[in-house]
Amino acid sequence: MFNLEFALRVIILLASLVLISLFYRFLGKKVTHFFELREANFIINFLSIILGVITLFVFFFVYVYYGFGYQPDIYRTGHRGTNKVAFTFDDGPSEEFTLPILDILEENNVPATFFMVGSHVEKFPEVARKVAKQGHAIGNHTQNHRNLPTLSTIDLHKELVEATAIITETTGVYPSFMRPPRGMYDGRSRRLAKLLGQEIVLWSISTRDWRYGVTANYITRFVDTKVQGGDIILFHDSGALLRSEGGDRTATVQALPDVINIIRSKGLEIVALEELLHNAPAEAFPQIDRPE
């Protein structure tokens, strides 16, 4: 299926490379005109390194998060033909934020999937067990929240296998989903997830609750303008911008009741991730007229 959004991202990337090349040539002429040749070469080389690093970062982000080609093993959204959405929470568990989130979900009869960090499960085993006891799904979010593509194969295996073992032993629930930290994956992590029987699930809406200074009002307004059927919505119940925990998720807790009400007021149903991904009704797949 042709993906217009992905095609636009590729076009933007290629256009950026062309503009950087043109800028480099233009800059070289200007710098040479104002400086001695040795100084000009130094400045041009320095700027080319900076631009090269930026270009590689942009390319790496597009490739690693969005990938290329057919990716049936990676879910970024549910079926758009449904009126259902799913809630997911990353980086927990934590006593400070997971517990009040669980209370809100229980009060509103909302299922969710918690992508847990293994080291946090070890730190807060009772909270992890409470997530399972309330019937929420649990996913693997690695042992120490490290970027998978940058790890050695041995360390990558440790991150996924150790987290799986600790989550299962602590909660009694085997994680059937895996979400790589920051959505960054590679071929090795995809193959290992398949061996572990864990489906890779990313998201279609990030509430951006990881941002410093984010408010509950911002989260609710953002979801209100973006949400539609089939969305996988990303929240955080722990974590931090640069560390695995320590961030303030107060805005997430405060926004959650309003987000639930907003979604339901739009005629959307909040369901378990498993139902969103694998139990779409027949009407989600329109019939195609075929010639007889």
Half-sphere exposure of 89 toward its Cβ, with a 13 Å CA cutoff? 28
90, 91, 209, 231: the catalytic one is 90
Q: Count CA within 13 A, CB hemisphere, residue 9.
A: 15
Residue with token string 């027949």:
282
Q: Catalytic: 90?
A: yes
Question: What six digits make up the tokens of 70?
Answer: 């057919």
Of 120, 141, 145, 236, the active-site residue reads: 236
Say if residues 58 and 19 touch (Cβ distance below 8 Å).
Answer: no
DSSP string, 139-181: EE--SS---GGGS-HHHHHHHHHHHHHHHHHHHS----EE--G
CA angle 205–150–182, rounded 5-degree value: 15
Per the annotation, the verdict on 155 as an active-site residue is no
Give backbone dihedrals phi and psi of 132, rounded to 5 degrees, phi first: -65, -40
Between CA 98 and CA 231 the distance in angstroms is 22
Other beta carbons within 10 angstroms of residue 204's beta carbon come to 19
Decide if 138 contacts 131 (C-beta within 8 A).
yes
Beta strand residue intervals within the chain, DSSP E? 74-75, 84-90, 113-116, 137-140, 177-178, 199-201, 205-206, 232-236, 269-270
Residue 93 preceded by cis peptide, ω within 30 = yes
Q: Cite the active site residues.
A: 90, 236
